[in-house]
Amino acid sequence: MRINAIAILLVLIPMSSISSFAQAENLNLMPQPERVVRREGSLAIDGSFRVALEGYTEPRLAAAAARLVRNLSKETGIPMNDRPEPDGSKATLVIHCDHSGEAVQSIHEDESYELEVTPQQARLTASTPVGAFRGLQTFLQLVAPGPAGFSAPAVEIKDRPRFPWRGLMIDVCRHWMPVAVIERNLDGMEALKLNAFHWHLSENQAFRIESKLFPKLQEMGSDGHFYTQAQVNEIIAYARDRGIRVVPEFDMPGHTTAWFVGYPELASGPGPYSIERHWGVFDPAMDPTRETTYEFLDKFIGEMAALFPDEYFHIGGDEVNGKEWLANPRIVAYMKEHGMKTTDDLQAYFNQRVVSIVEKHGKKVIGWDEVLHPGVPKDIVIQSWRGQKSLADAARQGYQGILSSGYYLDLMHPAWQHYAVDPMEGPTTDLSPEEKTRILGGEACMWSEYVMPENVDSRIWPRLAAIAERLWSPKQVKDVDSMYARMEVESRRLEFLGLTHRSSYLKMLDRLAGFQDSQKLKVLADLVEPVKEYGREDARDYNSFTPLNRLVDAARPESIEAREFAKLVEDWRANEARIRKVLTKWRDSTVELVPLMQRSNLLQEDLPLAENLSSAGIVGLQALDYLDSGKPAPQAWVEQQQAMLSQAAKPQAELLLMIVPSVRKLVQSAAGNGAP
Ligand code: ACM
């Protein structure tokens, strides 16, 4: 290693300034490593790139090294040899791993690594293969094109995660997600150092996994779209190769209609049952009062516990409305007989029985926060989704927990909002140090009512990267502008790894435009976002068969273009020329867009958005004219424009035109004719 004066100086800089130094140098690392020290020079990356493995090795490590080379080749467009170089001194990147990791990866797996890049060679050292996987992703992110070709800057990185549980849940029930969708999202998870894939496998709308003991579950409950056990094994192996645990969820006793199509005897109502085609919370629930229910679950959970190696098993437990229980006189009599006052008490009894079955099969239980009842065994993990308070309550009562409240990707919130949610802040701030150790991390959730394979990536990525950074990086890493800058780079890179969030957006716009040039449509599409939270539920009566091919399905959850326009308007004086150019483009966009939209049945509902965008362009330009004139805009004009903008701010075709607040700022400035 070459030590020079600059390097010695940098080592003495405290960590916070080291991190900002890394940002200033435009190292597009995401999540930010715990410690980065920039050295002088860089390592050239060209067609001679080779990897060598030293120390402990195993097939998945060798596979990860070869995958790194293939991904580097994809990202650079340079053909490369992905076979290991036997002579470490000739390799560009040397991976040194100390020993094997856990036979079944747990939350205690050592994921730390150190990466040193010099102008001569890069060296990655880790205790375990999983640590090496994390470091390989960092190395890949370091490589960027420069004036002298592709290179990785000379750095010294020491890194490890802040939280041991950093997950993504995908609901594969409301809409079917084939193996390829899961695998490409596992690739994305690996890139962002996430380590837990939570697989929501059963619901009212589908039962998505093959049971050999109870085949009517998938045969009658899935429309033929389910994972065979061979495919499940393939996905588990695929995830393990990337240092990702797979936690299956079988949501019970509610969210179970699809089970009852083939096995109505499990249910509390008289049946018959059919697959639920709508979204929402429904009445059907398992019958907690019959021993036959537990005999069934014992066999079923035994089968699934043997299939999934992870130590955790998710039993759901959310959103049981109790209606089917109260409608059954036999169940009501049972509750009375056993002194159960509410359906919550009955669910607590059910949970207790199921927890002991899961534990009998050698697993630990995880459940949504509704499972937190007095008397539930302390070794279960609470997944907090209804608010961060349940995470704090659980930790105080001795339970471990993970946070999902604030990380629901399906609610279409911007990345900064997820980024601001910290498992250790808010209601958990006051926990004792011991209680805090019970907070294991967090999980983003992708519920699939409004997504299909075509657009699910665009609802997960790139915003998941912001959550991944929150869960991996030191707590003080929270510069939002830096996060966005790095997230946008990562977003583009993820497409090279096989994600489709950017390419699919363009495809969907092409379809909307009748396979004509969709450039004009993109001007509008770039500036709209789907309504937030559960707004789509209220807008129309959706079901499993509703087409998801409208502009609202193509539009990204967060408009980066609108965010950038808002930044320009913050300092309109400095940015006036650029703002005028953008406003002019909007003003003129309708000329070609409106005829295109009028021709398409799919786009007619979006015509008001196009008109509003054009009006916003006109008004913005007028506001700038008033501002330039030095005289306040006439009151009547201001009122008229404010009214127009209030109309334009309303949802249209389940979409929001995101530039309205910025144009309103310009109008307000023109009214006062001072600086905004
Ligand atoms: C949930 O969102 N019902 C866990």
Residues 71-117: tens digit of each pLDDT:
999 999 999 999 999 999 999 999 999 999 999 999 999 999 999 99
The predicted structure's pLDDT at residue 9: 40
Distance of CA 331 to the CA centre of its chain: 40
Query: What is the rounded CA–CA span in Å between residue 131 and residue 33?
Result: 13
Q: Which residues of the chain have pLDDT under 70?
A: 1-25, 674-676
Segment 387-410, tens digit of pLDDT: 999 999 999 999 999 999 999 999
Q: Which ligand 1 atom is nearest residue 319's CA?
A: 3
| Most distant CA pair in the chain, distance | 82
Give percent of the chain above pLDDT 90.
Answer: 94
Find residue 444's DSSP bridge partners. Answer: 168
- List Cα–Cα distances, 200 to 20, 129, 207, 537, in angstroms: 39, 28, 10, 21
Q: Give the pLDDT of residue 17.
A: 40
Residue 319 annotated among the catalytic residues of the structure: yes
The reply to whether ligand 1 has any atom less than 6 angstroms from the CB of 387 is no
Residue nearest atom 3 of ligand 1, based on CA coordinates? 318
CA of 263 to the centre of ligand 1 (A): 24
Whether 382 contacts 391, CB under 8 Å:
yes
CA of 567 to the centre of ligand 1 (A): 35
Query: For ligand 1, is residue 368 a contact (CB within 6 Å)?
Result: yes
Of all protein residues, the one whose alpha carbon is nearest to atom 2 of ligand 1 is: 385
Q: Bridge partners of 168?
A: 197, 444
Amino acid occupying residue 176: W
Pocket test for ligand 1, best of 319, 405, 534 (most atoms within 8 A of CB): 319
Mutate which of 318, 371, 390 for ligand 1? The one with the most ligand atoms within 8 Å of its CB, which is 318
Q: pLDDT tens digits, residue range 323-382?
A: 999 999 999 999 999 999 999 999 999 999 999 999 999 999 999 999 998 888 898 999
Token pair of 599, please? 């021709």
pTM: 0.96
Give burial (CB, 10 Å; 0-12/13-18/19+) of 594: middle
Pick from 651, 635, 654: nearest CA to 541: 654
pLDDT of residue 370: 94
Tell me which of 183, 319, 564, 611 is the catalytic residue: 319
